[in-house]
Amino acid sequence: MPIVQAAPAKLNLALHVTGRRADGYHLLDSLVAFAGMGDVVVLEPGPLSLRIEGPFAAGLPVSDDNLCLRAARLAGAAAAIRLTKNLPVASGIGGGSADAAAVLRGLARMGHALPAETERLGADVPVCLASRPARMQGVGEIVTPLDPLPQVPLVLVNPGVGVSTPQVFAAMERRDNPGLPPIPRFAGLADLGGWLAQTRNDLEPAALAIAPVIGQVLDALRATGAAFARMSGSGATCFGLYDSADRARIASSALKQHGWWAAATELAPPLTPG
Ligand code: C5P
């Protein structure tokens, strides 16, 4: 029986950069949530192999250093892996880390132990392994699960511009920002939006300087009635939170008119257990 694992899009609802380690990696304090859509990984017994299909397969040629293959090697396991790439590549919403985490979760269901230090595959792998709302600290290795978030309607938008994560980190002006304020249990959108307004994505100004279209995406999200809009990770994907699913769907259609990729979904629990 093939094992199917969802790899939901990861969102940094807030991302503060609080310092830098001696090895150059940045210390983060981030509220991470997962969307109700994402890539899908299917595993079957067999020698290690990878096939990539789906709307964004063309952006990700199969190569030996693909994170799905690296994850399986780190776990010392083999499987035939099929990845359906529904999310834009290298876009600040988990992508490779979410896929690698889905492979590791699938391999665990096949009886392989989870490897240690999964953050070495990608900073977002540990939080994507949990695939539930969490506070992420350190360089990504400290993951503290949080209460479920309200299932707020959400739109993801990517303008089709690839932004290099190392370049964004390098362009940052300040690396010693304060951490996140205490994270309460959120009752709904107003509550969550109020808290988010006290926080930042510290990578946003640097990413905007590199790819000014991100500013247009944020303006467009606000113009479609988003109660809150921000960039995720190092960009270029941005998200908007809406007070109704209808408003989110209409916004998503309008944003596609710019020639951007957009999808209406929701802040949601994992798509599949395990
Ligand atoms: O781990 P990931 O592949 O997301 O990181 C890409 C690059 O982003 C790293 O090579 C590093 O230059 C930078 N980075 C960082 N601090 C982090 C995460 C990533 O400086 N916490």
Q: Is the pLDDT of residue 270 over 60?
A: no
Examine the residue annotation and report whether 29 is marked as an active-site residue of this protein.
Answer: no
Whole-model pTM: value is 0.95
Question: Is 234 close to ligand 1, i.e. is its CB under 6 Å away?
Answer: no
Longest C-alpha distance within the chain, in Å?
51
Neighbours of 154 (CB within 10 A): 26
Domain 3-145 classification at class level? alpha beta
Domain residue ranges of the chain, discontinuous segments joined by +: 3-145, 153-266
In this predicted model, what pLDDT tens digit does every residue of 165-179 receive, in sequence order?
A: 999 999 999 999 999
Q: Is the pLDDT of residue 271 over 50?
A: no
Q: Is the pLDDT of residue 83 over 80?
A: yes
Give the closest residue (by CA) to ligand 1 atom 11.
166
Q: Of 29, 39, 99, 124, which residue is the catalytic one?
A: 124
Examine the residue annotation and report whether 124 is marked as an active-site residue of this protein.
Answer: yes
- From the CA of 122, give the closest atom in ligand 1: 1
pLDDT band (50, 70, 90) for residue 238: very high
Question: Is 10 close to ligand 1, i.e. is its CB under 6 Å away?
Answer: no
pLDDT, average across residues 29-51:
97
At residue 268, the pLDDT reads 75
Question: Is 164 close to ligand 1, i.e. is its CB under 6 Å away?
Answer: no
ipTM of the complex: 0.90
Please state which architecture CATH assigns to domain 153-266: 2-Layer Sandwich (3.30)
Q: How many CA atoms lie within 13 A of 28 on its CB side?
A: 29
Q: How far apart are CA 253 and CA 264, in angstroms?
A: 9
Cis-peptide into 236, omega within 30 deg: yes
Give the closest residue (by CA) to ligand 1 atom 9.
166
- Pocket probe mutation, ligand 1, options 18, 67, 169, 201, max atoms within 8 Å of Cβ: 169
Q: How far apart are CA 224 and CA 203, in angstroms?
A: 24
Q: How far apart are CA 109 and CA 91, in angstroms?
A: 28
Q: Is 195 helix (H, G, I), strand (E, B) or coil?
A: helix
Question: Is 166 close to ligand 1, i.e. is its CB under 6 Å away?
Answer: yes
Q: Is the pLDDT of residue 269 over 90?
A: no
At residue 206, the pLDDT reads 97
Q: How far apart are CA 96 and CA 40, in angstroms?
A: 12
